[in-house]
Structure 1
């Protein structure tokens, strides 16, 4: 299984700490986030990881080197300008027909191997790992049409599917990514839907954290102790 780790962002929500350390190197116990991901990818059957880097790329390359210490083959694709979360894929050479894409700041107990096999069995153009989330409104919510109140719900609850930032991609979708400039995964998904491509969801019920803030990081440390 070939895997791409997206680790080129600045992690601006974790400023000022991310000024000196890229977010994938933030520690959870005695391991950086990205090292935990690599361990999981290896256990899921990954044999090659391509790290797409930009911001503070030298630190990441110095830490992970060629991947031998992690039991993997690691190579790097460096962007000279921010390309978003889909743009870097267009720059990677030697991609197989299907490959896994993971944001480098993900912490999850998702079974990457099962996700990949589900994608292959479904013959999808793209598979998006998703998790059901619930939000609770603190206010009464009204629906208004032409100035007239037509419905009212007091502090309603909304359920929705959240993208986990983890995908399996068929190589043929790369033709929809521009050669230059920023292009994100939501842009690619929307483009594929407009073209009638087969985009499916894979439900994850396991733990999942998107490390955006220091409070997210502390919460992940508490609940993902098995990876320390």
Structure 2
């Protein structure tokens, strides 16, 4: 399915909820319930979702009196604070983060995310290691999800080594970040976050990476979406700390009966 013309990428559904909400629930499971959403393309779609979607849509509930009375079981979103910030359509990641600076600049540190990928990394450990450092920025480093073979070639064309990406030391940006407010001192108007600002951080030895060998998946292609959708349908969701695979399977059997 191609959703690109009708909804923004973070609103592409996985199961019965958009990937954005999967990401937000993951943060909430670690106790982080204040969100600033930097909206761009089709901002109205995201606003409509959070303004008009009923809580029982994503919560276990008991329905009585023909649906007139609904009791939520373990409602996980009632304490969420969500700031919907329209940052414009033609903005890059750095510009969107800059637009949100007044909402986070008084925090000791804050978390940031591309909102199009899922992981099972231990967020508490990421934060603890960053907090123990003197760094200003930290990003999640993950293995490149590629099946290419890499060739090390000398200037004369001689092949020195041929190896797979799995055995290489190639790490990529996983789209999960932790920052101190000083990050804004390294940013300039119009710059992409991970280009010029990150170079300045590197020059000052103020950027660190948290290497994660576990589950990580970005939803960049139709194949990525199909893979994640299959995982949701099977109840195999490594990023979900609350719902076990067995519970999901039982729910699916009930729905089919």
What secondary structure does 2:97 align onto?
A: helix
Higher relative contact order (CA 8 A, sep 6+): 1
Which of 168, 171, 178 is matched with 1:161 structurally?
171
Structure 1: tracts of 5 or more residues without a match: 1-13
> Given that residues 133 and 160 in structure 1 are in contact (C-alpha distance below 8 angstroms), is that contact kept between their aligned partners in structure 2?
yes
> Given that residues 142 and 174 in structure 2 are in contact (C-alpha distance below 8 angstroms), is that contact kept between their aligned partners in structure 1?
yes
- 2:198 corresponds to 1:189: yes
- In 1, Cα distance between the equivalents of 2:150 and 2:180? 43
The superposition leaves residues 6-44 of structure 1 with CA deviations (integer Å, 9 ceiling, x where unpaired) of: xxxxxxxx9x52110111111111121011111111111
- In 1, Cα distance between the equivalents of 2:194 and 2:151? 33
Alignment map for 1:33-48 (pairs within 5 Å): 33-48=19-34
How many matched pairs? 208
The superposition leaves residues 80-113 of structure 1 with CA deviations (integer Å, 9 ceiling, x where unpaired) of: 2422112212111231131000111112222223
1:101 match: 112
- 2:133 corresponds to 1:125: no
Structure 2: tracts of 5 or more residues without a match: 56-76, 241-247, 249-257
- In 2, Cα distance between the equivalents of 1:198 and 1:154? 33
Q: TM-score, normalised by structure 2?
A: 0.72
| Structure 1 pair 68–119 and aligned structure 2 pair: CA distance change class (3 A) | farther
Per-residue deviation at 1:121? 1.7
Alignment map for 1:207-226 (pairs within 5 Å): 207-224=215-232, 225=235, 226=237
CA RMSD across the alignment: 2.6
Q: TM-score, normalised by structure 1?
A: 0.80
Normalized per residue, the structure richer in strand is: 1
> Given that residues 45 and 113 in structure 1 are in contact (C-alpha distance below 8 angstroms), is that contact kept between their aligned partners in structure 2?
no
Per-residue deviation at 1:135? 5.5
- In 2, Cα distance between the equivalents of 1:41 and 1:67? 20
2:252 match: none
